[in-house]
A and B are shown apart, each in its own frame.
Chain A
Amino acid sequence: MAGLMEDFGNFTHAVVRAIPDSFANEDSRRKKTVEVDLAKAQREHELYIEVLRHQLGLRVLELPADESLPDCAFVEDAAVVCGDTALITRPGSDIRRKETEAVKMVLKEMNLNIVEIDDESATLDGMDVLFTGREFFVGLSERTNQRGAEILADTFKDYAVSVVPVQNGRHLKSFCSMGGPDLIIIGSSEQAQRALKIMKQMSDHRYDKLTVPDDAAANCIYVHLPDKGHTLLHCTPEEFPESAKVFERLKDYLLIPVSNAEKVKVDGALTCCSVLIHKKV
Chain B
Amino acid sequence: MTTEVVSEAEVKKEPEKADEQPAAPQQDAEQESEQPAAIQDGDTPRTASPQTDRKSKEARGLSRFLPPWLKRQKSQSRTEPSEDHEDKAPMEEQLEAPPPEEVSPQEAERDESHSIGSADTQPAKEEKGEEFPERIGDGKEEEDLLESKAGEKEDEPLKAEAEAEKSSLKPAKKMKTVTCQVTLLDGSLLPCEVEKRAKGIVLFVKVCEHLNLLEKDYFGLCYKDHADQKCWLDPAKEIKRQIRNCPWQFAFSVKFYPPDPSQLTEDITRYLLCLQLRQDIASGRLPCSFVTHSLLGSYTLQAEMGDHDPDACCLDYISEFQFAPSQSKEMEEKVVELYKTHRGMSPAQADAQFLENAKKLSMYGVDLHHAKDSEGVDIMLGVCANGLLIYKDRLRINRFAWPKILKISYKRSNFYIKIRPGEAEQFESSVGFKLPNHRAAKRLWKVCVEHHTFFRLVTPEQPPKARFLTLGSKFRYSGRTQAQTRQASTLIDRPAPHFERCSSKRLSRSLDGVPGLGMDDQAGATSLGRTPGEKNGRDPALELSSDSKSKLRVQGENIYVRHSNLMLEDLDKTQEDVLKHQASISELKRNFMESTPEPQPSQWDKRLTASPATSLRLRAQAAFEEEVPSSSLLSSTVACTTSVPAAEGAIAVGSPPAAAHVAETAEDKQKSDTLEQAEVEIEETVVIKEVRKAPKVEVTVPEVVVTAVTEKEPEKKPGGEAEGRGGEGVTQRGSTSSDSHSESEDEAEYHPQAPSVSVDQIKELPEEEEELEVEAQPLEAEPTAASPCPTTEEQEPALKDEAQNGHPESQSPQGSVEEDEEDEGEPKLNGDASRAETEGFPQVICCSEPPVVKTEMVTISDTFAAQKTEISTLEVPIVHTETKTITYEAAQVDGAGDSEPGMLMTAQTITSESLCTTTTTHITKMLKGGVSETRIEKRIVISGDSDIDHDQALARAIKEAKEQHPDMSVTRVVVHKETEVMEEGKD
A: residues with CB less than 8 A from B are: 1-2, 4, 83-85, 113, 134-135, 138, 140, 146, 149-150, 153-154, 156-165, 182-184, 194, 197-198, 200-204, 206-210, 249
Interchain CA distance A225-B289 in the complex, whole Å: 27
Q: A161 contacts which chain B residues (CB < 8 A)? A: 362, 394-396
Q: Residue-by-residue, is B860-903 near A (CB-CB < 8 Å gives 1, otherwise 0)?
A: 00001110011000000000000000000000000000000000
- From A154, A164, A203, give the contact of B399 (CB < 8 A): A203
Q: Tell me the complex Cα distance, A58–B289, Å.
A: 27
Which A-chain residue is minimally distant from B866 (CB atoms)? A165
Tell me the smallest distance from the CB of A79 to a CB of chain B, in Å: 17
11 A-B pairs (CB sep. < 8 Å): A1-B288, A1-B360, A83-B291, A135-B362, A146-B393, A153-B394, A157-B288, A159-B362, A163-B866, A202-B398, A207-B604
Q: Is B319 an interface residue (CB 8 A)?
A: no
B912 CB within 8 Å of chain A: no
Is the Cβ of A2 less than 8 Å from the Cβ of B607? no
Task: State the Cβ distance, B951 to closest chain A Cβ, in Å.
Answer: 43
The answer to the question of B834 belonging to the interface, with a C-beta cut-off of 8 Å to chain A, is no
Q: Is the CB of B604 within 8 A of A209?
A: yes
Instruction: Write out, one digit per residue, whether chain B residues 292-309 have a CB within 8 A of any chain A CB (1) or not (0).
Output: 100100000000000000
Task: Choose one: A83, A85, A153; the contact of B395 (CB below 8 Å).
Answer: A153
Instruction: Tell whether, in the assembled complex, residue B292 and residue A158 are in contact, meaning their CB atoms are under 8 Å apart.
Output: yes
> Which one, B295, B397, B864, B865, contacts A1 given CB within 8 A?
B295
Query: Which residues of B355-399 are within 8 A (CB) of A?
Result: 357, 360-362, 384, 386, 392-399
Instruction: Provide the bound-state CA to CA distance between A1 and B294, in Å.
Output: 11
In the bound complex, residues from chain A placing their C-beta under 8 Å from that of B360 are 1, 4, 134, 158
Tell me, in angstroms, the Cα distance from A131 to B607 when the chains sit together: 20
A8 vs B747: C-alpha distance when bound (angstroms)? 43
Does B16 have its Cβ within 8 Å of any Cβ on chain A?
Answer: no
Pairwise interchain contact B865-A198, C-beta atoms closer than 8 A: yes
Closest B residue, CB atoms, query A209: B604
- B289 contacts A85, CB within 8 Å? yes
A209 contacts B399, C-beta separation under 8 Å? no
Q: Which B residues are closer than 8 A to A by beta carbons?
A: 287-292, 295, 357, 360-362, 384, 386, 392-399, 401, 404, 422, 602-608, 864-866, 869-870
Contact A162/B395 with A2-B295, A135-B362 known, Cβ cut-off 8 Å: yes
* Nearest Cβ on chain A to B375's Cβ, whole angstroms: 14
Check A208 against B608 for contact (C-beta < 8 Å).
yes
Q: Are A153 and B393 in contact (CB-based, < 8 A)?
A: yes
- Alpha-carbon distance between A207 and B290 when the two chains are bound, in angstroms: 27
Complex CA distance for A208 and B292, rounded to whole angstroms: 27
User: B608 touching A1 by the CB < 8 A rule?
Assistant: no
A164 contact set on B, CB distance < 8 A:
866
By secondary structure, the A interface counts as mixed
Bound together, the chains give a CA A149 to CA B729 distance in angstroms of 54
Contact check, A113 vs B290: say whether CB atoms are below 8 A apart. yes
- Which 3 pairs across A and B sit closest by C-beta, in order of nearness? A160-B362, A153-B394, A208-B607
Query: Which residue of A157, A165, A209 is within 8 Å of B608 (Cβ)?
Result: A209
Per the bound structure, the CA–CA distance linking A5 and B290 in Å amounts to: 19
A84 touching B605 in the complex, CB below 8 Å, given contacts A1-B360, A2-B357, A163-B396 = no
| Residue contact A157 to B295, C-beta cutoff 8 Å | no
Tell me whether A1 and B607 are in contact in the complex, defined as CB-CB below 8 angstroms, given that A158-B362, A162-B397, A202-B398 are known contacts: no
Q: Out of B392, B399, B608, name the residue touching A201 (CB < 8 Å).
A: B399
Q: Is the CB of B399 within 8 A of A146?
A: no
A184 to B607, CA, bound (A): 12
> A149 CA to B362 CA in the complex, in Å?
16
Cα separation A172 to B287 with both chains bound (whole Å): 26
* Bound Cα distance from A162 to B390, whole angstroms: 10
- Verify B602–A160 contact, CB threshold 8 A: no
Measured CA separation A116–B442 after assembly (Å): 41
CA of A204 to CA of B482, assembled, Å? 18
Whether B605 pairs with A149 at a CB distance below 8 angstroms is no
Question: How many Å from the CB of B256 to the closest CB on chain A?
Answer: 16
Q: Check B357 against A165 for contact (C-beta < 8 Å).
A: no
Residues of B within 8 A of A84 (CB): 291
Task: Using known A-B contacts A153-B394, A153-B395, A158-B362, determine if residue A184 contacts B869 with beta carbons closer than 8 Å.
Answer: no
Q: A85-B289, A204-B386 are in contact. List 17 more A-B contacts (CB 8 A).
A: A113-B290, A134-B360, A140-B866, A157-B292, A159-B362, A161-B362, A162-B399, A163-B866, A197-B869, A198-B865, A200-B602, A201-B404, A202-B865, A203-B399, A206-B604, A208-B606, A209-B608
| Residue numbers in A under 8 Å from B397 (CB-CB) | 162-163
Q: Which residues of A contact B866 (CB under 8 A)?
A: 140, 163-165, 198
Q: Known A2-B357, A135-B362, A208-B605; judge A165-B396 contact (CB<8 A).
A: no
Closest CB of chain A to B287's CB: distance in Å?
Answer: 4
Chain A residue nearest in CB terms to B603:
A206
Query: A162's closest neighbor in chain B, by CB?
Result: B396
- Tell me the nearest residue of chain B to A193, going by C-beta: B599
How far apart sit A4 and B393, CA to CA, in the bound complex (Å)? 25
B289 / chain A contacts, CB cutoff of 8 Å: 1, 83, 85, 156-158
In the complex the two chains form, what is the Cα distance from A184 to B292 in whole Å? 26
- Contact for A209 among B288, B396, B398, B602, CB less than 8 A: B602
Q: In the assembled complex, which residues on chain B have CB atoms less than 8 Å from the CB atom of A249?
A: 608
Shortest distance between the CB of A191 and any CB in chain B (Å): 10
Closest A residue to B392 using CB positions: A146
B residues in contact with A204, CB < 8 Å? 384, 386, 399, 401
Q: Which residues of B contact A156 (CB under 8 A)?
A: 289
CB distance from A243 to the nearest CB of B (A): 15
Contact between A1 and B357, CB atoms less than 8 A apart: yes
* Alpha-carbon distance A15/B361, docked complex (angstroms): 28
- Listed residue (A113, A197, A207) with the most chain B CB atoms within 10 angstroms of its CB: A197
User: In the assembly, what is the distance between CA of A138 and CA of B865, in Å?
Assistant: 13
Q: Whole-angstrom distance between the alpha carbons of A135 and B295 in the complex?
A: 19
B364 to chain A, nearest CB (A): 10
Chain B residues with Cβ below 8 Å from A160 are 362, 396
Known contacts A161-B395, A209-B604; A1/B361 CB under 8 A: yes
Q: Which residues of B contact A184 (CB under 8 A)?
A: 604
CA distance A153 to B392 in the complex (A): 11
In the complex, the chain B residue whose C-beta lies closest to that of A207 is: B604
A117 CB, min distance to chain B CBs, angstroms: 15
Nearest-neighbor residue (CB-CB) of B607 within chain A: A208
Q: Which residue of B lies closest to A250 (CB)?
A: B608
Question: Closest approach, in angstroms, between the C-beta of A69 and any C-beta of chain B?
Answer: 30
Taking a contact as CB atoms closer than 8 A, the residue among B395, B422, B869 that contacts A163 in the complex is B395
Chain B residues with CB below 8 A from A183, complex form: 607
Collect the chain B residues with CB atoms within 8 Å of residue A150's CB: 393-395
Min Cβ gap A124→B in Å is: 12
Residues of B within 8 A of A113 (CB): 290
Q: Is the CB of B362 within 8 A of A208?
A: no
The interface centre, meaning the residue of A140, A158, A200, A207 with most chain B CB atoms within 10 A of its CB, is A158
A165-B870 in contact (CB<8A): yes
In the complex, what residues of A have CB within 8 A of residue B869's CB? Answer: 194, 197-198
Interface contact B395-A149, CB-CB below 8 Å = yes
Contacts of B292 on A, CB cut-off 8 Å? 1, 157-158
Cβ contacts under 8 Å, A182 to chain B: 607
Q: How far is the CB of B439 from chain A (nearest CB, A)?
A: 29
Report A-chain residues with C-beta under 8 Å of the C-beta of B362: 135, 158-161
Contact assessment for B396 and A202 in the assembled complex, using a CB-CB cutoff below 8 Å:
yes
- Closest residue of chain B to A163 (Cβ to Cβ) is B395
Minimum distance in angstroms from B278 CB to a CB of chain A: 16
Residues of A within 8 A of B606 (CB): 206, 208
Set of chain A residues within 8 Å of B603, measured between Cβ atoms: 206
| Residue in A closest to B338 when the chains form the complex, CB atoms | A2
Interface centre among A138, A201, A206 (most CB of B within 10 A): A201
CA distance A174 to B586 in the complex (A): 45
Q: Tell me which residues across on chain B come within 8 A of A162, comparing CB atoms.
A: 395-397, 399, 865
Is the Cβ of B604 less than 8 Å from the Cβ of A157?
A: no
Q: List residues of chain A with CB within 8 A of the CB of B399.
A: 162, 201-204
Contacts of B865 in A (CB 8 A): 162, 198, 201-202
A213 to chain B, nearest CB (A): 16
- The closest CB in chain A to the CB of B362 belongs to A160
